[in-house]
Chain A
Amino acid sequence: MADSEDEEAFHSAGEEEVTPPSQKSEEKPSKSGQPSSTSSGGASGKKEVQNVGKPNSKKAKGKKGKKKKASMNDKGDNSEEMKGEATMSEKDAAVSSETDQQDTKQQPHSETQLEEQNQPDADVETAEGVKSELKSDKKEERTSAVEDTPPESSKKENLKEQDDSSPKKEDSQPESELAEEGGDAKAKTDSQVPEEEEQKPHVKEDAEQLLETGSEINRDAQGASPEPSQDDDENKTLETDERTGESASASSKQTDAAEDAEAGGGRSIMGALSKLTGEKPAEKKASGGGWGWGGWGASLVSSVSAVGHGLSSVIENVETSLGLPKPEELTEQEKRQQEFIVTLDERGEGKEGKEEDGDKDEDKDEETKDPGEGEEMERDGGKEGEEEGDEKQDQSTPEDQPSVPSSMKGFLSLGASAITSVVGKTVTGGLDALETIGRKTMDVLQEGEHRLEGRRSGQKGNLSEMLRDAKEEAETAAVLEEEERERQRAHFGILFDKYQGLAHLEALEMISNQSESKVQGSLSTLSGEDLQSLKTELIEIRDAFQLEDLESEEQPEGSEQDFVNAITEHLFGVSVASTPDKLQRVQRSVHEWLAECKSQQEAAQKQDTKELHIKAIETLAEFSSRVIEQFHKACELMLLPQDREHTKNAVQRATSLSKLTSVLATEVSNQASKFADCLNREAANQEEGAETADVNPLITNIYLEASNSTSYIQDAFQLVLPVLQMVAIERKRDATTETS
């Protein structure tokens, strides 16, 4: 990067250096007047004094903080994030406990990151962010190089810087991720990795004497991962990613700290703390007088658990707190909230935030979801193992501390109880509202997007992931739907219904059942000789009414004309005034189609096997529908009163009907085998191998549906029998009434 830029950065940093503390000290007392805020103001002042030897790095830091803030402000998330911090601590714990899971998820991400990185049209903001951060990094390097005179301190600073810089980069990411849905921001991180790595060795060398402090922490944090900076970074990326929708950026720093603490134990907690507050001297002191700090740490733990209680009570009391509070309460709550923001601001070393909390309801909502979810996740994480559970315990400690540390110095003597009450109140006051708003928002969101429901409780509390999943789900659903449509196009049952075959079958069944009951009724009224003669006649009809299955198989494949002749003849044999128009039309068109197909195939024109299959099934469905319609119509006509004048007796009719059914069944199998031939030819035309394998199930399916079709036809045929018998009985009755 050009020197001029660095210079610029430097200057700007210098300017900012002045502003943040002053503003802080102005704002805090005025808005809160609470000890914690003032103390932090004091803390920064103290810092200044203690760090005289290294103003540059200080500046750099201040500048970085500012940068971060600025980028946050662009999105207007800042204060929410800050507020959300404390609540998120739980979630963070869960997040890091789930790191293992994340690691697997992370892989695909990093690929996209690389791609995105290469894209020139990366988000402007992101680009800027990178630039500014690079600037600061460069500057730090330079600072440490130039200011080798007070080596210890500068090195330390560098160390700190380094520690800080990575989380800060992370910090700015969630916002851009918010807008960009992930990728770009991560790309940013990646781009920074080399920088950091460059920097690290240098820092580490210098800092070797200081191993007991910052670098140790650093290492500790990295201890779990083989690749120090990269892995650390990735973890962070993941964490931020996890939280993308909820814009938990501010806490990523803490998460970082939490990680440190997790690995490094008590001392690293302190390290993290001091990192958070930016108090090197304190840290030094801490490492020196570890026990005193340890004791303090212990009291912190207790305060944290108190805060935890506060949290749970908050969650329990959401409804009550939503109820109209008194004006005094309201103002008090507001005040508390502001305090809270201030406290959080200090942590982030920023100055903005509270001014903006008005127009951030949306973001707040998003964020407030976290507490509840965090709990869930934590609970879930608890199952994962004791170790992780312990880690969480540890994590929650440092993470809740942030609100404490700033006030810590001034009020160390006050003891844990005071801190606890302050923190408790603050957290409670701020969270009440956020929690409720968040829940409501979630309800609204879930109402609109049912797909998102359940996923919320599915412990994958990451909006981008959720949306990605929802999208994928929708895509698969669309594919399935498409397949389903395709399948339905070739589904015999559906097509059979489409051609009204099912309706005709149903209607046929109705009149058949009715005839059946009439036959039974007639039999019950008769007795003696009449009954015997009727029974004999009915049995004769039934005997004639048998399908000669084997015979039909042996019938030679008749021509189209043979078929028409045969069915006309047989229908005439049934002596119904019904012409098989529809049946003939279907049959003719099928054969025309098959012939056309054959000629096309012989002309080496490619046919889609799938389409052939669909056509085959469609044809079978249509043909059998028409057959059933024919049977249905025949029955209806036989039942007509004028039908009784026909001369043909029932046995003759039964025989004709049987033959007709055989012809029709043969026709079905003819068509099926012709379609199968068609498919086989197609397979032969195309390359051997994959295509043939593709065709076989289709052919099998055609034969299957052909047998299906035949069984429908035979069922329909059987339904005609009672009608025939009924007609015979009525005729007989007519005859007897006539004679008598």
Chain B
Amino acid sequence: MSYAYLFKYIIIGDTGVGKSCLLLQFTDKRFQPVHDLTIGVEFGARMINIDGKQIKLQIWDTAGQESFRSITRSYYRGAAGALLVYDITRRDTFNHLTTWLEDARQHSSSNMVIMLIGNKSDLEARRDVKKEEGEAFAREHGLIFMETSAKTAANVEEAFINTAKEIYQKIQEGVFDINNEANGIKLGPQHSPTNPTLPSQGGGQQGGGGCC
């Protein structure tokens, strides 16, 4: 399928906060209560539409286990967006946010858009981290904030799409250099800046032919 841009996302956060479930909900629109531990990194992709532009999100869902930390760090590079996830029912996952954030800032592009996600918002009864705390943390560190539920799908789409919107806006503002792939943004096969009115079939052929 043709797309104008490809954004690389990473999902980071402590183990068991629901990173893989968020991805599964976003890409497959389903919820799996029991999930295998992620080894290293898993992938998901989905096409979204922003301002009439097709954008492919290539999502790297990293393992949250401490032992994979060194490996997953190498995957931060070249991400345009990051979803930093904590579990609202487990304060320790919230407390680790600073470490994650440092890691992310250190190993990725400074322009990377980071979305802070308080997951498992469906478990209101077991809430351990107030929404206000999350908001405050996000404000303090310049992040976008959202509480989601991978189980009920609440805010899941929004979380991914709002991040993409932010990235897209940065592209429009010229903050991101779209020709530098280290920023996590790739131009789609169809996208040709010199000739935007190129008919779609031409672009499609180009995309089809250019892959092997």
Could you list which residues of chain A lie within 8 angstroms of chain B, going by C-beta atoms?
450, 477, 480-481, 484, 487-488, 491-494, 497, 500, 503-504, 507, 510-511, 514, 578, 632-633, 636-637, 639-642, 708
What is the bound-complex CA distance between A175 and B208, given in angstroms?
47
* Structural contact, A492 and B212, CB atoms closer than 8 A: yes
| B77 interfacial contact with A, CB 8 Å | yes
The answer, yes or no, to whether B74 is at the interface (CB within 8 Å) is yes
The minimal Cβ–Cβ distance linking A373 to chain B, given in whole angstroms, is: 22
| Given A492-B212, A511-B74, A708-B212, CB of A484 within 8 Å of CB of B201 | yes
User: Who on chain B is nearest to A632 by CB?
Assistant: B40
Among residues of A, the one whose C-beta sits closest to the C-beta of B76 is: A510
In the complex, chain A residues whose CB is within 8 Å of the CB of B1: 488
Please give, as numbers and ranges, the residues of chain B lying within 8 Å of A507 by CB-CB distance: 40-41, 43, 60, 75
**Top 5 closest pairs, chain A to chain B, by CB:** A493-B211, A636-B40, A503-B43, A480-B201, A500-B43
Known A484-B205, A514-B74; contact A477-B67, beta-carbon cutoff 8 A: no
Provide the residues of chain A in CB contact with B32, threshold 8 Å: none
A491: nearest chain-B partner, CB-CB: B208
What residues of chain B lie closer than 8 Å to A639, measured between beta carbons?
70-71
Alpha-carbon gap, A424 to B67, bound state (A): 90
1/0 per residue, CB under 8 A from A, across B27-45: the answer is 0000000000001110101
If A514-B74, A578-B39 touch, whether A640 touches B208 (CB-CB below 8 Å) is: no
Closest CB-CB distance, A706 to chain B, in whole Å? 12
* A637-B204 in contact (CB<8A): no
List, in ascending order, chain A residues with CB within 8 A of B204's CB: 480-481, 484
Partner of B58, one of A494, A503, A642: A503
User: How distant is the Cα of A617 from the Cα of B81 in the complex, in angstroms?
Assistant: 33
| A511-B74, A633-B39 known; A491 vs B205 contact (CB < 8 Å) | no
Contact, CB under 8 Å: B200 / A500? no
Q: List 5 A-B contacts (CB under 8 A).
A: A492-B212, A500-B45, A503-B43, A637-B39, A640-B68
Q: Residues of A contacting B68 with CB < 8 Å? A: 636, 640
B197: CB under 8 A from chain A?
Answer: yes
CA distance A378 to B39 in the complex (A): 72
CB neighbours of A708 from chain B (8 A): 212
A654 to chain B, nearest CB (A): 20
What's the nearest-Cβ distance from chain B to residue A503, in Å? 4
A639 to B67, CA, bound (A): 10
Which listed residue, B67, B74, B197, B208, touches A484 by the CB 8 Å rule?
Answer: B208
By beta carbon, the residue of chain B nearest A494 is: B211
B174 is an interface residue with CB less than 8 A from chain A: no
Confirm or deny: B52 has a beta carbon within 8 angstroms of a beta carbon on chain A: no
Task: Judge if B199 is at the interface, Cβ distance under 8 Å.
Answer: yes
Interface string of B186-212 (1 = CB under 8 A from A): 000000000001011100110010011
- Would you give the shortest CB distance from A722 to chain B, in whole angstroms? 13
Known A-B contacts A477-B200, A507-B41, A510-B77; the reply to A494 vs B208 at CB < 8 A is yes
Known interface pairs A450-B197, A484-B201, A514-B74; A503-B212 also in contact (CB < 8 Å): no
Contact A487 B208 (CB under 8 A): yes
Sample of 14 more A-B contacts, CB < 8 Å, known A487-B208, A636-B41? A450-B197, A477-B200, A488-B1, A497-B211, A500-B45, A503-B43, A503-B45, A503-B58, A503-B60, A507-B43, A510-B74, A636-B68, A639-B71, A640-B68
* Residues in A whose Cβ lies below 8 Å from that of B197: 450
Q: Which residue of B lies closest to A577 (CB)?
A: B39
How many angstroms between the C-alpha atoms of A637 and B41 in the bound complex?
A: 11
Closest Cβ–Cβ distance, residue B107 to chain A (whole Å): 11
- Give A472 to B85 CA distance when docked, in angstroms: 52
Given A491-B211, A494-B208: A636 touches B39 (CB 8 Å cut-off): yes
Cβ-closest chain B residue relative to A712: B212
When the two chains form the complex, which single residue of A497, A510, A640 contacts B75, counting CB atoms closer than 8 Å? Answer: A510
Whether B71 and A640, one on each chain, are in contact in the complex, defined by CB atoms closer than 8 angstroms, is yes
Q: A480 vs B206: C-alpha distance in the bound complex, in angstroms?
A: 13
Cβ-defined contact, B60 with A488, below 8 A: no
Point out the residues of chain B lying under 8 angstroms from A494, CB to CB.
208, 211
A567 to chain B, nearest CB (A): 17
Choose one: A481, A488, A503, A636; the contact of B71 (CB below 8 Å). Answer: A636
A477 in contact with B201 (CB, 8 Å) = yes
In the bound complex, CA of A493 to CA of B212 (Å)? 6
| Complexed CA–CA distance, A639 and B75 (Å) | 14
Q: How far is the CA of A629 from the CA of B43 in the complex (A)?
A: 10
Bound complex: CA of A500 vs CA of B41, how far in Å?
12
A636 to B197, CA, bound (A): 44
Inside 8 A of B43's CB, which chain A residues have their CB? 500, 503-504, 507
Establish whether residues A481 and B201, one from each chain, have CB atoms under 8 Å apart when the complex forms.
yes
By a CB distance below 8 angstroms, the chain B residues around A632 are 40
Bound complex: CA A488 to CA B41 (Å)? 27
Nearest-Cβ distance from residue B45 to partner chain A, whole angstroms: 7
The residue from B39, B41, B77, B199 contacting A477, defined by CB atoms under 8 A apart: B199
Contact A640 B212 (CB under 8 A): no
B55 shortest CB reach to chain A, Å: 16
- A642: which B residues are within 8 A, CB to CB? 67
Q: B39, B204, B205 — which one has the most chain A CB atoms within 10 A of its CB?
A: B39
How near does chain B come to A269, taking the closest CB pair, in angstroms? Answer: 47
Separation of A510 and B8 alpha carbons in the complex (Å): 14
What is the CA–CA distance of A503 and B61 in the complex, to the nearest angstrom?
A: 11
Determine how close the nearest CB of chain B comes to the CB of A700; give it in whole angstroms: 14
Tell me the complex Cα distance, A481–B211, Å.
Answer: 18
Q: Are B208 and A488 in contact (CB under 8 A)?
A: yes
Alpha-carbon distance between A511 and B201 when the two chains are bound, in angstroms: 37
- Give Cα A246–Cα B72 distance, bound, in whole angstroms: 67
Which residues from B are CB-within-8-Å of A636? 39-41, 68, 71
B72 CB to nearest A CB, Å = 9
Alpha-carbon distance between A497 and B58 when the two chains are bound, in angstroms: 10
Complex Cα spacing A642 to B39, Å: 14
- Give the complex CA separation of A322 and B40 in angstroms: 69
Q: Return the chain B residue nearest A497 by Cβ.
A: B211
Give the residue name and chain of the B residue nearest to A640 (CB). B67
Q: In the complex, which residue of chain B has the Cβ closest to the Cβ of A510?
A: B74
Who on chain A is nearest to B73 by CB?
Answer: A514
* Chain B residues, CB < 8 A from A480: 201, 204
Residues of A within 8 A of B205 (CB): 484
User: A412–B200 Cα gap in the complex (Å)?
Assistant: 62
- Residue of A492, A493, A708 ringed by the most chain B CB atoms within 10 A: A493
Contacts of A493 in B (CB 8 A): 211-212
By CB atoms of chain A within 10 A, which of B40, B41, B199, B200 has the most?
A: B40
Which residues does chain B contribute within 8 Å of A487, judged by CB atoms? 208
B201 to chain A: which residues have CB within 8 Å?
477, 480-481, 484
Residues on B with C-beta less than 8 A from A578 are 39
Using Cβ atoms and an 8 Å threshold, which residues of chain B touch A641?
Answer: 67, 70
Q: How far is the CA of A494 from the CA of B56 in the complex (A)?
A: 13
Give chain A nearest CB distance to B136 CB in angstroms.
34
Task: Give the residues in chain A near B71, CB-CB below 8 Å.
Answer: 511, 636, 639-640
**Cβ-closest chain B residue relative to A642:** B67
Shortest beta-carbon distance, B77 to chain A, in Å?
7
A503 vs B43: C-alpha distance in the bound complex, in angstroms? Answer: 7
CA distance A637 to B63 in the complex (A): 12
* A492 proximity list for chain B (CB < 8 A): 211-212
Residues of B close to A488: CB separation below 8 A = 1, 208
Shortest CB-to-CB span from B95 to chain A, Å, is: 23
Q: What is the CA–CA distance of A636 and B39 in the complex, to the nearest angstrom?
A: 7
Residues of chain B within 8 A (CB-CB) of A491 are 208, 211
Name the residue of chain B whose CB is nearest to the CB of A473: B199
Complex: chain B residue closest to A578, CB-CB? B39
Hey, which chain A residues are within 8 Å of B60, CB to CB? 503, 507
CB distance from B67 to the nearest CB of A (A): 5
Q: What is the CB-to-nearest-CB distance from B59 to chain A, in angstroms, rounded to a whole number?
A: 9
User: B70 to nearest A CB, angstroms?
Assistant: 7
In the complex, chain B residues whose CB is within 8 Å of the CB of A481: 200-201, 204
The smallest C-beta distance from B66 to any residue of chain A, in angstroms, reads 10
Which residues on the B side are within 8 Å of A450 (C-beta)?
A: 197
B40 contacts A633, CB within 8 Å?
yes
How far apart sit A492 and B210, CA to CA, in the bound complex (Å)? 11
Residues of A within 8 A of B70 (CB): 639, 641
